[in-house]
Amino acid sequence: MTEAAPFFADLAEGPEGGRAVWLRTADGVRIRAGIWAGGHRGTVVLLPGRTEYIEKYGQAAADLQRRGWSTVSIDWRGQGLADHALPDRRYGHVEDFDEYQRDLDAVLALVAAEGLPQPLVMLGHSMGGCIGLRALHRGLGIRAAAFSAPMWGIALPVWERPVARLLTAVAGPLHLTRKLAPDRGPETYVTTARFEGNLLTGDRAMWNYMRHHVEAQPDFALGGPTLGWARAALAECGALMRLPPPDVPALTVVGSKERIVTVGPIRRHMAQWPGATLDVYAGVRHEVLMEGPAVRQRFFDSACALFDAQRSAAPV
């Protein structure tokens, strides 16, 4: 039987009846899962990006439920209210991206135990798009996938790339994996950056929505990644881009003003993906799901059209 976890419905602004539960992963980490049931067409497994947490996607769950879909989401280990590997909860750390697959396995077991409606489809943002692509290769029964600015490469200035390669290479031998990456602080971006010129969204209301969350619940705030996380992320992105795309229908959306993930690998991978669609949104930044109403409507209409097409298709 699952144990209820804290859930801040007033912050999430999601559908009625949203709730959260604690889960234990195969390696003993306690993570938090969020459930918004009520959609009859199937269940969207929503995979957040780095620094994110369940409540951030309450409005997305409402958009999905209006289109007939239930949603389940997750606090990855080291984020939100899940267990953190380091004493300072503001540091984001894993040693290997396989750890996130254990988190996802626990959530999929919850979906089965709760009897949430089939089929299962996936929505992955940023780091969640990286974790989600690996999950598709594992053959977990996901029938379709929509990606928002997937982290299939990490945007770094040209001068910083050799430094990053060197530091991540020596981090393990020098026992530096739990140190913050250079030029990354312990504070979360939305509390230190100004709305003007920010890299996430051009919509002030959604910027304020995100900022209000971390001000109201400081445990939601996450600062920079560790060298261990950076090493693991670079390794996983490289490994995934060397694989052929999985045989799963997919949509990928990226903004023309994207500056956080690298767009080149997205374009190349989608060009190799039979039957998949890449849509570039003019004037949009990193967080497509945190833009204004017109952008969000465009995205959810497209994603749910893809998902709906799989309801009568043969299982993969």
Mode of pairing for the β-strands spanning 30-36 and 19-24? antiparallel
pLDDT of residue 28: 98
CA 179 vs. chain centroid, Å, equals 23
Q: What is the pLDDT of residues 65-96, one digit of tens each?
A: 999 999 999 999 999 999 999 988 888 889 99
Helix (H, G, I), strand (E, B) or coil at 42: strand
Supply angle C-alpha 174, 176, 182, rounded to 5: 125
Q: What is the pLDDT of residues 3-28, one digit of tens each?
A: 999 999 999 999 999 999 999 999 99
Q: What is the pLDDT of residues 106-152, one digit of tens each?
A: 999 999 999 999 999 999 999 999 999 999 999 999 999 999 999 99
Confidence of residue 209 (pLDDT cuts 50, 70, 90): very high
Helix (H, G, I), strand (E, B) or coil at 190: helix
Strand order in the sheet with 3-5: 3-5, 19-24, 30-36, 69-75, 42-47, 120-125, 145-148, 250-255, 277-281
pLDDT of residue 158: 42
Confidence of residue 2 (pLDDT cuts 50, 70, 90): confident
Helix (H) or strand (E) run with residue 173 in it: none
Choose between 165 and 191: higher pLDDT. 191
Helix (H) or strand (E) run with residue 114 in it: helix 98-114
Q: Of 64, 118, 60, 127, whose CA–CA distance to 94 is shortest?
A: 127
Confidence of residue 165 (pLDDT cuts 50, 70, 90): low
Q: Is 202 left (phi over 0), alpha (psi -120 to 50) or beta?
A: alpha
Distance from first CA to last CA of the chain, Å, rounded?
A: 30
Choose between 159 and 115: higher pLDDT. 115
| Stretch among 83-97, 168-182, 280-294 having the lowest mean pLDDT | 168-182
pLDDT score of 182 more than 90: no
Mode of pairing for the β-strands spanning 277-281 and 250-255? parallel
Q: What is the pLDDT of residues 215-272, one digit of tens each?
A: 999 999 999 888 889 889 999 999 999 999 999 999 999 999 999 999 999 999 999 9
Distances 113 to 50, 106, 156, 199, 286 between C-alpha atoms, Å: 27, 11, 42, 39, 34
Mode of pairing for the β-strands spanning 69-75 and 42-47? parallel
